Structure 1
Amino acid sequence: MTTVLAPVEGAAVGLAAVPDPVFSAGMVGPGTAIDPLRGRVGRRCEAVAPISGKIMKLHPHAYVIVGDDGRGVLVHLGIDTVQLKGKGFHLLAAEGDRVSAGQPVVAWDPAAIEAGGRSPVCPVVALDAPAESVTGITEGAVQVGQELFRWE
């Protein structure tokens, strides 16, 4: 079993609440989403590794960490944020790095994403997982590093 932790603080809202049909329909994989806590524009917060493992993909707006068991978890910081071409994101790790669960990976500003007309909602997805393998999905307020779901 893999325990997936919340990469950001906010409210766990479920994938159905993601304003993107690919995520909301579960096409990327099962999991949940977090509506991140927003401070004032200009206040960065850190998105952390949801599991321990190796950063296999790292874009300013999204990252995939693969654990020693071969399971990959995607964290996507906001919707349509790829269009920002990295503006507003600061990498705190590098692709290929080994990270521990809870280790900062990217600093970003959810309030600035929202102010720019995009949703800051963060899907957290178990890649290549059958829907029934994800259990114990947390709902409501979550802190960084709190259990978000289990991947059986």
Structure 2
Amino acid sequence: MTTVLAPVEGAAVGLAAVPDPVFSAGMVGPGTAIDPSRGPGEAVAPITGKIMKLHPHAYVIVGDDGRGVLVHLGIDTVQLKGRGFRLLAAEGDRVSAGQPVVAWDPTEIEAGGRSPVCPVVALDALDSAVTALAEGTVRAGDELFQWT
């Protein structure tokens, strides 16, 4: 079983609340989403593992068991081409769960007309494999869901 931690502080709202059908319909995979607290902050690693993909607005960490977790910071944020994000780690780095990966400010994302909601997805997982989804307020590093 893999315990996936909240990468950001905010309110766990579920994937259905993500204003992007690719995430809200679960096409990327099961998981949940966080409506982040507004103001500057850091997005942390949801699991211990290796950063396989790292873009300013999104990252994938793969654990030793081969399970990958995607964190997407806001919706349509790829259009920002890195503006408003600062990398705190590098692709290929090994990180511990809870270690900062990207610094960002959800307020800036929202000010640009984009949703700052952050999907957190268990890649290539069955819907039934993701359980114990957190509800309500979460802090970065809190348990977000279980992947069995």
Give the TM-score range, shorter chain.
Answer: over 0.9
Q: In the alignment, what sits opposite 2:111?
A: 115
Tell me the secondary structure at the aligned position of residue 75 of structure 1. strand
What is the distance in 1 between the residues matched to 2:97 and 2:83? 25
Q: In the alignment, what sits opposite 1:30?
A: 30
Q: Which amino acid aligns with 1:26?
A: G
Q: Which amino acid aligns with 1:2?
A: T
Query: How many residues end up aligned between the 2 structures?
Result: 148
- 1:50 positional shift: 0.2
The percent of aligned pairs where both chains have the same amino acid is 86
What is the distance in 2 between the residues matched to 1:143 and 1:46? 11
Q: In the alignment, what sits opposite 1:18?
A: 18
Structure 1 alignment gaps of length 5 or more:
none
Tell me the secondary structure at the aligned position of residue 23 of structure 2. helix
- 1:55 positional shift: 0.1
Q: In the alignment, what sits opposite 2:126?
A: 130
What is the distance in 2 between the residues matched to 1:149 and 1:84? 29
What is the distance in 2 between the residues matched to 1:142 and 1:104? 16
Runs of 4+ in 1 over 4 A off after TM superposition: none
CA RMSD of aligned residues (A): 0.4
Of the three residues 140, 143, 146, the one matched with 2:142 is 146
TM-score normalised to structure 2 length? 0.99
- 1:70 positional shift: 0.1
Q: Which amino acid aligns with 1:14?
A: G
The reply to whether residue 78 of structure 1 matches residue 74 of structure 2 is: yes
What is the distance in 1 between the residues matched to 2:93 and 2:25? 31
Q: In the alignment, what sits opposite 2:52?
A: 56
Q: In the alignment, what sits opposite 2:89?
A: 93
What is the distance in 2 between the residues matched to 1:139 and 1:15? 12
Structure 2 alignment gaps of length 5 or more:
none
Tell me the secondary structure at the aligned position of residue 57 of structure 1. strand
TM-score normalised to structure 1 length? 0.97
- 1:93 positional shift: 0.1
Tell me the secondary structure at the aligned position of residue 120 of structure 2. strand
